[in-house]
A and B are shown apart, each in its own frame.
Chain A
């Protein structure tokens, strides 16, 4: 009965390196969301999955960002050639059906620091 888990919890990388962030949603949840939270700001939507499909990638900031989901379960967010402005907490959430009234359950986040 675990909640949403994310790994790593912290990631420090050098500018220009690629990073991969992982999210394990609650079992049986069909919808999965990635958000970014910059210091002192609200959450910024990145991408949404319904099953393994990503019908909306409009929030991805640039083509350096990509994400995939497999087996209607785990998702990975990849940031290529990281920049300092990518430093933020990346949050993953899942919900049962992806309906607007659904509660989204959040993971603890991955804190990314790009030096």
Chain B
């Protein structure tokens, strides 16, 4: 079975500081991994995805994530937080044995302190 765990329901960082949102996965097959962002009162949008090409994936708005098989992790980072990054971030893994639904982590709310 595949699953996703996001460590920390809330993460608070100061504006200009490093953002690190953690995601660990469990999968018996090579995973396809996604980070989505949900801004307040907006729909979910894709930040980036890992599809077994480069292990360092760059996304929109300066975010990137690194796939580490040995650590079963796909942590999301951004060197310098901006106020506009305040949102909820979801890590997801594509289910590969049937319907390709996304299996989601519980989400991490990113709070940016001025």
Given A101-B51, A109-B43: A41 in contact with B107 (beta carbons within 8 A): yes
What's the least CB distance linking B58 to chain A, in Å?
15
Q: Which residues of A contact B92 (CB under 8 A)?
A: 43
Q: Are A43 and B43 in contact (CB under 8 A)?
A: no
Interface residue A71 (Cβ < 8 Å from any Cβ of B): no
Please tell me the number of chain B residues within 8 Å of chain A, measured between CB atoms: 27
Name the segment of B63-71, B72-80, B93-101 touching the other chain: B93-101
Question: Which of the residues B34, B100, B104, B107 comes within 8 Å of A99, measured between beta carbons?
Answer: B100
Q: Identify which of A41, A48, A100, A109 gathers the most chain B CB atoms within 10 Å of its CB.
A: A100
The number of chain A residues touching the other chain, given as a range, is: 20 to 34
Q: How far is the CA of A54 from the CA of B51 in the complex (A)?
A: 25
Q: Are A42 and B104 in contact (CB under 8 A)?
A: yes
Q: Are B45 and A106 in contact (CB under 8 A)?
A: yes
Interface residue A102 (Cβ < 8 Å from any Cβ of B): yes
Q: Which residues of A contact B95 (CB under 8 A)?
A: 100
Interface residue A90 (Cβ < 8 Å from any Cβ of B): no
Q: Are B102 and A45 in contact (CB under 8 A)?
A: yes
- What is the interface of chain A, defined by CB distance below 8 A to chain B? 3-4, 31, 33, 35, 40-45, 48, 50, 55-56, 59, 91, 93, 98-109
